[in-house]
Chains A and B, each alone.
Chain A
Amino acid sequence: KAGVTQTPRYLIKTRGQQVTLSCSPISGHRSVSWYQQTPGQGLQFLFEYFSETQRNKGNFPGRFSGRQFSNSRSEMNVSTLELGDSALYLCASSPFTGPRRNEQFFGPGTRLTVL
């Protein structure tokens, strides 16, 4: 089975722009979560989608949004980028059933740099 894929891997934007990141989960996984990782704040949960519905949301401003499609692929969008949005954005998928239901499988991440 192919792992979690994220595109693009690297992205450079300027302040005020918006960006869309994409995540394709492992086939059969219906739960997709997004995390932001920065040196200062560490790993922080953004949101989780399950069957096209946002199930959980972290403490981030409304500029951060996401969605999930019927094939479980997910996108996250950040509008009006700020310098502090520079981070590694990680996507993770979970089978939610079966012997590995407690695991999250992470993608390689998208490294976003805001100039």
Chain B
Amino acid sequence: AQKITQTQPGMFVQEKEAVTLDCTYDTSDPSYGLFWYKQPSSGEMIFLIYQGSYDQQNATEGRYSLNFQKARKSANLVISASQLGDSAMYFCAMRPPGSTGNQFYFGTGTSLTVIP
């Protein structure tokens, strides 16, 4: 079974600083998709960024970038210039190899707190 591991239960970052949230995954299939979601205290999951396993370049979306190291099976999220509104839970997720559906496997999440 596919497995997503987020080893940082909680992280703190100073406002305006950059922070990296770790994510490793386990799959033997060459084709898969990796995602990051943000979940504020309100509960709603917000899509941040997507990386396909065959994508040659690391994905970027505004202040979010994904440091994709395929050989290490890691997909770390980098948030630049942190803002107070970035305080939330962050989840790494994977769509199973070969899946045409939306059956996602999620990590346990990292709680990020931005300090003013």
Interface, chain A (partner B; CB < 8 A): 31, 33, 35, 42-45, 48, 50, 55-56, 58, 88, 90, 92, 94, 102-109, 111
Contacts and interface: CB of A to CB of B under 8 A. Distances in A.
Name A's interface SS: strand
A50 B47 contact: no
Nearest to B99: A56
Contacts of A43: 91, 93, 106, 109
B93 to A, nearest CB: 8
A33 B91 CA distance: 17
B43 A104 contact: no
A33 B108 contact: no
Nearest to A108: B44
Interface string B3-38: 000000000000000000000000000000101010
B43 A108 contact: yes
B64 interface: no
Given A102-B52, A103-B50, A94 B103 contact: no
